[in-house]
Amino acid sequence: MADNLRMNSLDGIRILDLSRVLAGPWCTQTLADLGADVIKIERPEAGDDTRGWGPPFLKDAQGQDTRDAAYYLGTNRNKRSVTCDIASPQGQALIRELVKTCDVFIENFKVGDMARYGLDYASLSQINPRLVYCSVTGFGQTGPYRERAGYDYAIQGIGGLMSITGERDDLGGGPQKVGVAVADLFTGMYATVAILAALRHTEKTGQGQHIDMALLDTQVAMLANLGANYLVSGQKEGKVPGRAGNAHQNIVPYQVFEVAPAANGQKDHIILAVGNDGQYVKFCAVANCPELATDERFAKNANRVRHRDVLVPMLAKIMLTRSKADWLSALEAAKVPCGAINNLAEVFADPHVRSREMVTTWDHPASGPVDLVSSPMKLSATPVRRDLPPPLLGEHTHDVLRDLLHMDDQAIAKLRAQHII
């Protein structure tokens, strides 16, 4: 556990988190890791949808399933959980009172829902002019799609990612989503950056602002070099980037290659990621094909890209001549970027992953010790927090209402009896 005497980067920042599922919670988990006090508002009795997105579920001390799925645990560490029925006038009043004590408000409801509850930016900024208010939706607060519900899978399709992911169409490929919800995750990270920038602005001016984050905007931004390829050249020449399988659109050789079979006879593969011409020369030396380094068709990356259909089959034959271990050892010694293709068991057993402490053991109130993926952020002076395991539903309701709103036990009990909390 983190040393409680050491400060965190966002000590003193309080966030009221009305977001659910992934994009918003991923953002607030990152901010919580950095030290912010994140108060997660959840529906009484039900909670965040992802609590039920299992199996697998967290097991209690007797080995029985709890009500919290692993999905929920992976996105909600270092937060406090408060239950509140925001559809009720009393619940809305509680939120408004809490807003007075907070620096940031984040929500991912459909466009217009917060206004119906009187919890939109226009309303809450009257209560707290310094408030940084972040809305996360599928399509944003404006535009013809603004009222549509937005889900990562659909956004990967609409935003072009599935048209450039997967095996080449001429090799039997077709639309393919990425293995994790990258549109949600990237939106969460962009929202984190935007909130930190807005907090800096508030610090200088005393004024809050509204942040409008959309999954589709983020997905389009994530097209990165392929988006640039199309805008700079493709739209003029009628060339639309497509699926390249495990190859890179702009660098060669930069892809998966099959190598000699494993000891059990199964196919084996490695990633070869030659990023520049110097690395290509080194690769050719390791592969005992120096003539390919001096061939004018392949000496420069631009030419290798133009002649990939000639070069890659030649390299594929060479790669089949040696085992995975042999290739990895020789290429790593020559400083040629390469890598194995690990399954998740191999990832978490990897000695480097373990040495980087990418698994943290938490003392969970329902189960005792539970291993979860760690934050990747490693700050020398203000390390990330490791003090609050993902909370039980409503675990901190009483403490928050007592400490922040100065409510007594009787008032809290009355709200509970009315199912407001």
Nearest-angstrom CA–CA distance, 72 and 403: 26
pLDDT in tens, 21-53: 999 999 999 999 999 999 999 999 999 999 999
Model pLDDT, residue 5 = 62
- Given this model, what pLDDT does residue 401 score? 98
Q: Using CA atoms, how far apart are residues 386 and 78, in angstroms rounded to an integer?
A: 7
CA distance 311 to 365: 58
Give alpha helix (H) positions in 80-151. 89-99, 113-116, 121-127
pLDDT band at 170 (very low <50, low <70, confident <90, very high): confident
Q: Under a CB-based contact definition with an 8 Å cutoff, are residues 41 and 18 in contact?
A: yes
Q: Over range 391-406, report the average pLDDT.
A: 97
Tokens of 260: 């000699």
Among residues 319, 308, 305, 304, which one has the least CA distance to residue 272?
319
Q: What angle do CA 293, 296, 300 make, to 5 degrees?
A: 70
- Interatomic CA distance for residues 389 and 156, integer angstroms: 31
Active site residues: 184
pLDDT value of position 1: 41
pLDDT at site 257:
96
Q: What is the mean pLDDT of residues 246-272?
A: 93
Sign of CA pseudo-dihedral 23, 24, 29, 31: positive
Provide the token pair at 282: 């080194």
d(CA 299, CA 322): 24
Phi/psi at 344 (5° precision): -65, -30
Phi, psi of 236 (to 5 degrees): -80, -35
Percent of the chain whose predicted confidence (pLDDT) is above 90: 92
For the chain, the residue count is 421
> With bands split at pLDDT 50, 70 and 90, how would you rate the model's confidence at 411?
very high
Distance, in Å, from the CA atom of 267 to the CA atom of 323, rounded to the nearest integer, reads 10
Average pLDDT in the 302-325 region?
96
What letter does residue 169 receive in the DSSP assignment?
Answer: G
DSSP code of residue 43: -
CA 16, 388, 96: angle at the middle one, nearest 5? 15
Phi-psi map region of 226: left, alpha, beta (phi>0 left; psi -120 to 50 alpha): alpha
Q: What is the mean pLDDT of residues 389-413?
A: 97
d(CA 243, CA 356): 34
- The mean of the pLDDT values for the chain is 95
pLDDT score at 2? 44
Indicate the pLDDT class of residue 328, thresholds 50, 70 and 90. Answer: very high
Q: What's the pLDDT at 195? A: 98
Residue with the larger pLDDT of the pair 83 and 263: 83
- CA 141 to each of CA 109, 123, 136, 217: distance values in angstroms, whole numbers, following the listed order: 11, 16, 9, 11
> Which sign, positive or negative, has the C-alpha torsion 77, 83, 84, 85?
positive
Residue 3 has pLDDT above 90, yes or no: no
| Residue-wise pLDDT tens digits, 348-374 | 999 999 999 999 999 999 999 999 999
DSSP-derived secondary structure letter, 212: E
Cα separations in angstroms, 376 against 34, 325, 360: 11, 28, 11
pLDDT interval class at 65 (50, 70, 90)? very high
CA distance 228 to 232: 6
Would you report the helix, strand and coil content of the chain in percent, each value rounded to 5? 40, 15, 45
Average pLDDT over residues 299-318: 96
**pLDDT value at position 4?**
52
pTM: 0.91
Could you count the other beta carbons within 10 Å of the beta carbon of residue 22? 26
In the chain the domains, ranked by start, together with CATH numbers, are: 14-220+357-417 (3.40.50.10540), 254-341 (3.30.1540.10)
Tens of pLDDT, residue by residue over 92-133, are 999 999 999 999 999 999 999 999 999 999 999 999 999 999
Residue 171: band (very low, low, confident or very high) from pLDDT cuts 50, 70, 90: confident
Copy the structure tokens of residue 56: 């697998």
